[in-house]
Amino acid sequence: MIKINIATANGFTTEELKKVEAANSTLNNILNSEKFRERVLKFTTDGLFRFHYRRSFFGKWIDKPHTNHQVYEIVTQHSGADDAGVKQIDLHLELLPGGGEEHIGYTDTNTRKIFTYRDWFNSVSLAEYAGHLTHEWCHQLGFDHSPKPDPKREHSVPYGIGSITEAITLNY
Ligand SMILES: [Zn+2]
């Protein structure tokens, strides 16, 4: 079992924290669901069961193949405690002023903090916010994507997992 734990949440108002809490319980349901596992295992790129896994290497993008099963195992691994089979994923969240449609947020992989811009946060649905959190969580795990929109970016692990999360949230 996976337990999403909001370890820290800074910069949120009491009202905004309600959305964070809702996303927390949504993510707990999704990451433990068979539906999530199935969608990750059946994710396709160019007709193959795989993600487009990109990493920057000396300024060049390389594609390191992981099977969908490996991606699932990595994405559902714990970052916090692992007690009695409960794998805990600790999330450190911070809300920043400003933002908008193209300015959603980012992850600092050193501090493991997920930053989200307030204007974007308050303009999107719970599903989009939940998708953003798993997208950024994937960055913390070392998955990356092209900085600019290109056909393969949607098939990267962060975008793929983010959109699976969003889709499942909408269908729950
Ligand atoms: Zn990203």
How many domains does the structure of the chain reveal? 1
Q: How far apart are CA 113 and CA 77, in angstroms?
A: 17
Q: How far apart are CA 80 and CA 5, in angstroms?
A: 9
pLDDT digits (tens, 9 = 90+) for 62-113: 666 788 999 999 999 877 767 777 888 999 999 999 987 778 999 998 899 9
Q: For residue 99, what pLDDT is reported?
A: 83
Q: For residue 145, what pLDDT is reported?
A: 86
Q: What is the mean pLDDT of the chain?
A: 89
Cα(106) to ligand 1 centroid in Å equals 7
Q: For residue 102, what pLDDT is reported?
A: 76
Cα(139) to ligand 1 centroid in Å equals 7
Rounded average pLDDT over 144-151: 83
CATH number for the domain harbouring residue 72: 3.40.390
Cα(83) to ligand 1 centroid in Å equals 30
The CA-atom distances, in angstroms, between 97 and each of 8, 14, 105, 137 are 18, 16, 11, 21
Cα(163) to ligand 1 centroid in Å equals 12
Task: Give me the domain span that covers residue 124.
Answer: 2-171
pLDDT digits (tens, 9 = 90+) for 102-143: 789 999 988 999 999 999 999 999 999 999 999 999 998 888
Q: What percentage of the chain has pLDDT greater than the value 90?
A: 63
Q: How far apart are CA 113 and CA 48, in angstroms?
A: 33
Cα(147) to ligand 1 centroid in Å equals 8
Cα(145) to ligand 1 centroid in Å equals 6
Q: How far apart are CA 117 and CA 135, in angstroms?
A: 15
pLDDT digits (tens, 9 = 90+) for 30-62: 999 999 999 999 999 888 888 887 665 565 556
Q: For residue 101, what pLDDT is reported?
A: 73
